[in-house]
Amino acid sequence: MLPCVAAEPVPAQKEPAFFPSDRRGRRKLAFRARGTGYLARQQRLLRLLDERKELSAEHAAAELGCSRRTVYRDLLVLSETGVPLYQEPEGRRVRWRLVEGPKRRLAITLSFSEMLALTAGRDLLAGLAGTFFHEAAISALEKIRAALPQPLLARADASAELVMADKRPLRDYRGRGEIVRAIADAIDQRHTLILTYRKLGARSSTRREVDPYHLHIHAGALYLIGYCHERKAARTFLLDRASQVEVTDRAFERRSGLGLEAILQGDLGPWSGKAVSVSLRFSPDAAPLVAERKVHPSQVTRMNLDGSADVNLTAPVTPWLVRWLVGWGSQVAVLAPASLATQVRETHEAAMGRSARPATKAKKRSERVTVDVTWKP
């Protein structure tokens, strides 16, 4: 049998007096609490007291990353400013508590710019009307507004036009609100779900067993990112194509090494696939516009002496990427890979074929003219 080793008891330490006996000592102690970041630290201390109902100096010091003496100074400052604090002895130690009461509520202090930022955030989520994202944002903002002083609230309302956001919904999620909420609950509880999903181009839906990891918002659309049991890999699911969701009671453990970050392709949209090296050259007219915007995290832009711009990035060849390049028309040349250049050229040719006026007489195949719409450096 192994010997039983007991830890040596730690001698109890007497708590230093919280309030100095003289007025001069109280002012001196409060002055020392006013260091760099003291307001933020005292606000965090107040939140800890409100959340945990009681707090010791040791635990507070560990949470705040400061000394016990600093905690005592902060408690003194809070008490001096009217926060209803009291201490309850526990042997030779004390625990600090807030005076409980039915009307006690911590005041919320926001700056004018913070209030404008919250209002803009609510407007940005207006495109997700019908989901809990938009409704919860409105509810949270109303709670914050109710706690703000009237002058600040009036100023924020009067200056709301300083920050404008497009409130037009790009997608209609009013009929999928319960699906979005069920997926969010499954992510929180880490439960596998059964998703009835119709993939792009398919006429019918199939049932997918998915371990949900993230809800991703991109260009006003909602995507589910998770592990697909059928494909044995991480996949993305556009919730516009989900008709039903069933949350099972089977818990799952998150798999490591799935490369979920690689799925988020910046402005090119979430997409799972093999990343390739993409090399592009933009004309001098388009180069300034391309240089001022980064569409992918791996994008590197280099300006050339003739005014053109070379853009290199590593990403999957997705429909988002093809559409982005087609939108530049003759202002971009795809240098690599050849498969991407072929897709862009075929898309241009198909568009020209649909837009061409019908000829009075059909031409022979050998007489058809092929137009190169790709800008060549």
Average pLDDT along the chain, 377 residues, taken 10 residues at a time: 35 44 50 58 84 82 86 81 73 74 54 78 78 83 76 74 69 84 91 93 92 87 91 89 93 82 70 85 94 88 94 88 91 94 92 70 46 47
Q: Note whether residue 153 is domain-resident.
A: yes
Specify the pLDDT at position 328.
93
Are residue 280 and residue 260 in the same domain, yes or no? Answer: no
Residue 55 CB neighbours (<10 A):
20
Specify the pLDDT at position 5.
31
CA distance 377 to 374: 10
* CA dist list (Å): 39 to 61, 78, 144, 286, 287: 15, 10, 20, 49, 47
Residue 321 parent element (H or E): helix 319-327
Q: Which CATH number is 30's domain given? A: 1.10.10.10
What tokens does 200 get? Answer: 């792009």
Q: Note whether residue 328 is domain-resident.
A: yes
Specify the pLDDT at position 302.
95
What tokens does 258 get? Answer: 């799935």
Among residues 231, 264, 297, which one ends one of the domains? 264
Among candidate residues 248, 211, 240, the one with its CA nearest the CA of residue 131: 240
Among candidate residues 90, 88, 72, 68, the one with its CA nearest the CA of residue 80: 72
Segments forming the whole domain that contains residue 69: 23-98
Among residues 264, 294, 325, which one ends one of the domains? 264
Q: Note whether residue 220 is domain-resident.
A: yes
Q: Which CATH number is 242's domain given? A: 2.30.30.520
Are residue 71 and residue 118 in the same domain, yes or no? Answer: no
CA distance 242 to 6: 59
Specify the pLDDT at position 346.
92
Specify the pLDDT at position 100.
64
Specify the pLDDT at position 339.
93
Specify the pLDDT at position 92.
67
Domain count along the chain: 4
Specify the pLDDT at position 372.
46
First-to-last alpha carbon distance for the chain, in angstroms, is 82
Specify the pLDDT at position 242.
92
Q: Note whether residue 171 is domain-resident.
A: no
Q: Note whether residue 29 is domain-resident.
A: yes
Q: Note whether residue 34 is domain-resident.
A: yes
SS3 at position 62: helix
CA distance 311 to 308: 10
